[in-house]
């Protein structure tokens, strides 16, 4: 087992070790008393790798916090670790293959190590993972992370295979020890699981039924995060806007959003992902009423064809989706709208695909995530016979991406000369530029006379000077007249 140097009062370094979010280097807090009697302490070390969406990234923060609290130390490579954790994604077939490929890679170096598979892939495959990868000894879905310490004890007690796959209602949200990667932006789960049944999607099987957290509980955590210095919070859920407070207060999503926005200390509140069926006008009213609610809505459409949407069991028509787009376009706030698109859903004809292309023209999204349809176990779409050939799916995805690239290039070009406030999130040392994010969730890289790391996490007006399809570039706006323009 690796050893780490610590003084006798600071031996539980797991509590103090953390990965620096930018450099990814492992940092340890020094012994506060600078004790001269440093001792070599054996510690359990863990390495974690995360696949998939923001929900998974945040789940890993819960796992990391729980392990640190248990006295583990986080390390940056699998070789240094006594315990390896793979937080998996199974949303598309490729994601799942990637996980098993990774597990194979580590078979050779697995001797004497505990290997754990977590997340959607774990929930979906369950005990089968032990057969496919016999060097794995723990398989646990996202609803079981609060039980992780107990499961690790079972392993230490000599149990060779431990399973945690229950969808326990009370244990699905934050653990008390969540260790957030980013010191300025925090994710906050408000709803878990999904009660919809889209014909292509595994989420209802891997994350279970919808469970909303009480409004009071969300507010308590959001206030605590603001108190710890976080200025941006993203409310998270598979369908965040299906949120329904289970307490007598009974807040809906728009109410919760408005209340979180009022918390002193927060400057930006985001949310993802919204389902069009539950996307109601009061959400836009809440955004309009409070500048702190960001100028961005991610509203996955999946297809521009009402016939395909019905086959996908999406519960809205193209017209109903467009009504929501109209609300956003008529808003007083400059809302950026982004979406998800699936191409090649079984039975999607050329003309139905063209309807998706026309929808892109009509909406002029600010960004899209385009996916090739991927067959998933247990899903209703498996029964649809009329599969679209793989080459055709590839062609459709390229066509969608090409069209969208042109749209983004044009929209970004129109922003040149404007001023946007960014949260400074990082520094690109190669280009000597700061990396910022706008309220509309655009990346805006910019130059500044200072390279002081204290700028990280601060907000800064930036004048846009150049535009690419995926990001903007500019220069820090240090001129007082321009500052007044932005606040006007």
Please report whether residue 179 would count as binding ligand SF4 according to CB under 6 A: no
Residue 93 has which token pair?
């077939």
Q: Which does 342 bind (CB under 5 to 8 A by kind): ligand SF4, ligand SAM, none?
A: ligand SAM
CB 235 within 8 A of CB 254: no
How many other C-beta atoms can be found within 10 angstroms of the C-beta atom of residue 74? 22
CB 418 within 8 A of CB 446: no
Binding mask 242-281 for ligand SF4 (x = CB under 6 A): ---------------------------------x------
- Residue number with CB closer to ligand SAM (120 or 133): 120
Q: Name residues contacting ligand SAM, limited to 28-57 (CB under 6 A).
A: 53
Q: Which does 376 bind (CB under 5 to 8 A by kind): ligand SAM, ligand SF4, none?
A: ligand SAM
Q: Name residues contacting ligand SAM, limited to 220-249 (CB under 6 A).
A: 238-239
Q: How far is the CB of 140 from ligand SAM (least distance, A)?
A: 19
Nearest-angstrom CA–CA distance, 218 and 39: 42
Question: DSSP E strands: which ranges in 136-292?
Answer: 138-140, 162-164, 185-189, 191-192, 211-212, 232-236, 268-272
Q: Name residues contacting ligand SAM, limited to 158-217 (CB under 6 A).
A: 200-201, 203
Q: Which does 92 bind (CB under 5 to 8 A by kind): ligand SAM, ligand SF4, none?
A: ligand SAM
Q: Which of 73, 77, 50 is nearest to 61 (CA)?
A: 50
CB 423 within 8 A of CB 232: yes
Q: How far is the CB of 191 from ligand SAM (least distance, A)?
A: 11
Nearest-angstrom CA–CA distance, 453 and 469: 28
Binding mask 321-350 for ligand SAM (x = CB under 6 A): -------------------x-x--------
Helices (H), 249-389: 253-261, 281-289, 306-311, 318-329, 350-363
What are the beta bridge partners of residue 186?
A: 233
Q: Name residues contacting ligand SAM, limited to 117-146 (CB under 6 A).
A: none
CB 68 within 8 A of CB 74: yes
- Residue number with CB closer to ligand SF4 (238 or 338): 238
Q: Which does 168 bind (CB under 5 to 8 A by kind): ligand SF4, ligand SAM, none?
A: none
Nearest-angstrom CA–CA distance, 343 and 166: 33
Q: Which does 204 bind (CB under 5 to 8 A by kind): ligand SF4, ligand SAM, none?
A: ligand SF4
- Residue number with CB closer to ligand SF4 (151 or 343): 343
Please report whether residue 376 would count as binding ligand SAM according to CB under 6 A: yes
Q: Which does 124 bind (CB under 5 to 8 A by kind): ligand SF4, ligand SAM, none?
A: none
Strands 185-189 and 232-236: parallel
Q: Which of 351, 349, 341 is nearest to 372 (CA)?
A: 341
What are the beta bridge partners of residue 338?
A: 298, 367
Nearest-angstrom CA–CA distance, 288 and 283: 9
Say how many residues touch ligand SAM, by CB under 6 A.
18
Phi, psi of 345 (to 5 degrees): -60, 145
Please report whether residue 119 would count as binding ligand SF4 according to CB under 6 A: no
- Residue number with CB closer to ligand SF4 (110 or 341): 341
**Interface region with ligand SAM, contact rule CB under 6 A, candidates 60-68, 346-354, 355-363, 367-375:** 367-375
- Residue number with CB closer to ligand SAM (204 or 461): 204
- Residue number with CB closer to ligand SF4 (14 or 237): 237
Which of the 8 DSSP states describes residue 214? Answer: P
Nearest-angstrom CA–CA distance, 66 and 74: 11
Residues in the site for ligand SF4, rule: CB under 6 A? 194, 196, 198, 201, 203-204, 238-239, 275
Q: Which residues bind ligand SAM (CB under 6 A)?
A: 53, 91-92, 200-201, 203, 238-239, 273, 275, 300, 302, 340, 342, 371, 373-374, 376
């Amino acid at each position: 087992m690796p050893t780490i140097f610590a003084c006798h009062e600071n031996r539980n370094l797991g509590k103090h070790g953390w990965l620096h979010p930018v450099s990814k280097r492992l940092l340890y807090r020094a012994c506060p008393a600078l004790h001269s009697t440093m001792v070599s302490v054996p510690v359990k070390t863990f390495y974690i790798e995360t696949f998939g969406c923001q929900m998974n990234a945040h789940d890993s923060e819960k796992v990391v916090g729980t392990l640190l609290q248990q006295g583990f130390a986080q390390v940056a490579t699998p070789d240094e670790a006594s315990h390896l954790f793979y937080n998996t994604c199974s949303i598309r077939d490729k994601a799942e293959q990637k996980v098993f490929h990774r597990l194979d890679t580590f078979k050779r170096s697995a001797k004497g190590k505990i290997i754990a598979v977590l997340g959607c892939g774990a929930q979906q495959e369950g005990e089968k993972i032990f057969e496919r990868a016999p060097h794995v000894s723990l398989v646990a879905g996202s609803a079981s992370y609060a039980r992780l310490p107990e499961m690790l004890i079972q392993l230490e007690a000599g149990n060779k295979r431990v399973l945690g796959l229950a969808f326990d209602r009370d244990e699905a949200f934050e653990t008390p020890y969540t260790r957030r990667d980013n010191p300025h932006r925090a994710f906050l789960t408000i709803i878990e699981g999904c009660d919809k049944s889209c014909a292509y999607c595994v989420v209802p099987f891997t994350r279970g039924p919808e469970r909303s957290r009480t409004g009071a509980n969300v507010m308590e955590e959001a206030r605590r995060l603001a108190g710890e210095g976080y200025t941006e919070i993203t409310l998270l859920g598979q369908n965040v806007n299906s949120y329904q407070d289970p307490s007598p207060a009974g807040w809906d999503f728009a109410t919760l959003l408005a209340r979180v926005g009022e918390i002193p200390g927060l400057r930006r509140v985001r949310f993802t992902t919204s389902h069009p069926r539950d996307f109601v006008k009061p959400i836009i009213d809440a955004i309009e009423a409070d500048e702190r609610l960001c100028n961005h809505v991610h509203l996955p459409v999946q297809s521009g064809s009402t016939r395909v949407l019905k086959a996908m069991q999406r519960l809205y028509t193209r017209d109903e989706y467009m009504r929501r787009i109209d609300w956003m376009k008529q808003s007083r706030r400059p809302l950026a709208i982004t979406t998800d698109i699936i191409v090649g859903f079984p039975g999607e004809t050329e003309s139905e695909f063209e309807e998706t292309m026309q929808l892109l023209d009509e909406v002029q999204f600010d960004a899209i995530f385009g996916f090739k349809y991927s067959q998933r176990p247990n899903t209703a779409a498996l029964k649809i016979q009329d599969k679209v050939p793989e080459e055709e799916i590839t062609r459709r995805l390229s066509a969608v991406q090409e069209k969208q690239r042109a749209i983004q290039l044009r929209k970004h070009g129109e922003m040149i000369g404007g001023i946007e406030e960014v949260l400074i999130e990082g520094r690109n040392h190669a280009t000597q530029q700061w990396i910022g994010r706008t309220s509309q969730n655009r990346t805006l890289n910019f130059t500044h006379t200072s390279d002081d790391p204290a700028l990280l996490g601060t907000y800064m007006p930036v004048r846009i000077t150049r535009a690419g399809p995926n990001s903007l570039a500019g220069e820090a706006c240090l001129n007082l007249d321009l500052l007044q323009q932005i606040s006007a």
